[in-house]
Amino acid sequence: MASIREIAKRAGVAVATVSRVINHHPHVADETRSKVQAVIDKLGYVPNQIARDLSLGKTYKIGVVIPHTRHPYFNHLIEGLLDAAKDSDYQLVFMPSNYSEELEKSYLGQLRRRAIDGLIFTSHALSLEQIAHYHDYGQIVMTEPLNKESPLSSAYIERLSAYTSLFQSFKSQGYGEVVLLFSRNSPISATYQEGIAAYQAVYDKQVPRTFGKIDNYQDGYRLAQELIKTSQTQLILATSDDVAAGIQQAYLDQKAPLPSLIGQENMLTSQLLKIPTIDHKGYQLGKILFETALSQERQETKLSSEIIWR
């Protein structure tokens, strides 16, 4: 394969000039650029990407740690990230984690080794303190509020206000048992924290009935079959609109009294079935996350969830 030195020799220019042409440096005469490019094309020269990254000091790659794509929230995030990246010079590197701390550490290691320029955590298993140890190696963006002392950046959805308003509406209508569904039924989840905090603020610290790992239509259908047998549930806050659809269908199939349903993520499903939902603005958040990852400064951006009554 041809080398930069051979190209320089054939074009009659310095090796540094060839390097500037390859890296699209502006300070090269048009005639010289054309001459060098002609030799590059004739020899079929392809730059070594690793060497080029080292010379530029950038990889033009942003890592995106994503636990799974079973929930529409993450799909909306991905759509926003992709749309934001397509008009840039950057590539997105999707890094599946399934909430594995070891995998998350390996992705942080890639940031430390300069294999990527920045890292976006759409969710995480590692503690914020563990992640913050790597902030010197590149921009790290989280999707939750951070304290002012944290060196990490964030762009996140503020769900607490929407959840509080929703539960206040439930209480005023006299609903008894409210079942809350989560993708991750754990205090480490920011969504869980906000959901439980809002519920207990409205229902005088009462502990709600919750279920986790409810991500899709089938999960909702299976859970509803159990709820029909074991409780007189009056209202269910589903993890997504598809989950709400699965719950609704199970009750209809069993000819059981249908509880009130609230979905999440503002999907086509809730529009078609006229199910109220909460829009968590995942697509908009994805676009902001990408722009934040390109910044050299610490940033924090907040979006707010919106209840959509149908």
Report the half-sphere exposure of 160 (CA within 13 A, side-chain side). 12
Q: Is the pLDDT of residue 273 over 90?
A: yes
* Pair 179, 235: CB distance under 8 Å: yes
* DSSP letters spanning 82-147: HHHHTTSS-EEEEEE-TT-HHHHHHHHHHHHTTSSSEEEESS-SS-HHHHHTTGGGSEEEESS---
Radius of gyration over every alpha carbon of the chain, rounded to an integer in angstroms: 25
Based on the fold, state whether residues 303 and 200 are members of the same structural domain.
no
Cα–Cα distance list, 122 to 35, 67, 84, 96, 111 (Å): 47, 8, 16, 10, 16
Mean of the pLDDT values across residues 270-293? Answer: 97
Bridge partners of residue 216, in order along the sequence = none
Cβ count near 135 (within 10 Å): 17
Residue-level pLDDT at 25: 74
Least confident of 27-36, 64-73, 111-120, 154-163: 27-36
Residues 51-76: tens digit of each pLDDT: 555 555 688 999 999 999 999 999 99
Mean of the pLDDT values across residues 10-17? Answer: 86
Q: Is the pLDDT of residue 191 over 60?
A: yes
Based on the fold, state whether residues 169 and 222 are members of the same structural domain.
yes
Based on the fold, state whether residues 118 and 169 are members of the same structural domain.
no
Residue-level pLDDT at 154: 98
Mean of the pLDDT values across residues 141-166? Answer: 96
Output the pTM of the full model.
0.79
Based on the fold, state whether residues 273 and 167 are members of the same structural domain.
yes
Amino acid at 5: R
What whole-number percentage of the chain has pLDDT above 90?
A: 71
Confidence of residue 42 (pLDDT cuts 50, 70, 90): confident
Based on the fold, state whether residues 170 and 252 are members of the same structural domain.
yes
* Whole-number Å distance between alpha carbons of 8 and 123: 49
Domain end, chosen from 34, 56, 78, is at 56
* Pair 76, 83: CB distance under 8 Å: no
Cβ count near 240 (within 10 Å): 30
Residues 208-252: tens digit of each pLDDT: 899 999 999 999 999 999 999 887 788 999 999 999 999 999 999
Residue-level pLDDT at 7: 84
Residue-level pLDDT at 293: 97
Based on the fold, state whether residues 170 and 234 are members of the same structural domain.
yes
Residue-level pLDDT at 231: 74
Based on the fold, state whether residues 289 and 271 are members of the same structural domain.
no
Residue-level pLDDT at 253: 97
**CATH number, domain at 169?**
3.40.50.2300
Based on the fold, state whether residues 154 and 293 are members of the same structural domain.
yes
Based on the fold, state whether residues 287 and 154 are members of the same structural domain.
yes
Structure letter (DSSP) for residue 301 = E
* Pair 290, 87: CB distance under 8 Å: no
Residue-level pLDDT at 56: 56
* Pair 148, 294: CB distance under 8 Å: no
Residue-level pLDDT at 124: 95
Based on the fold, state whether residues 128 and 67 are members of the same structural domain.
yes
* Pair 192, 198: CB distance under 8 Å: no
Residue-level pLDDT at 10: 87
Based on the fold, state whether residues 270 and 290 are members of the same structural domain.
no
Containing domain of residue 150, as a range?
61-158+283-308
All residues at 6 or more sequence positions from 115 whose CB lies less than 8 Å from its CB, including other chains: 59, 61
What whole-number percentage of the chain has pLDDT above 70?
A: 96
All residues at 6 or more sequence positions from 206 whose CB lies less than 8 Å from its CB, including other chains: 199, 200
Number of compact structural domains in the chain: 3
Based on the fold, state whether residues 198 and 267 are members of the same structural domain.
yes
- Tokens read off for 244: 């709400």
Nearest partner of 171 among 202, 206, 196, judged by Cα: 202
Cα–Cα distance list, 293 to 63, 99, 104, 141 (Å): 9, 21, 17, 6
Residues 73-113: tens digit of each pLDDT: 999 999 999 999 998 989 999 999 999 999 999 999 999 99
* Pair 185, 213: CB distance under 8 Å: yes
Domain end, chosen from 56, 71, 91, is at 56
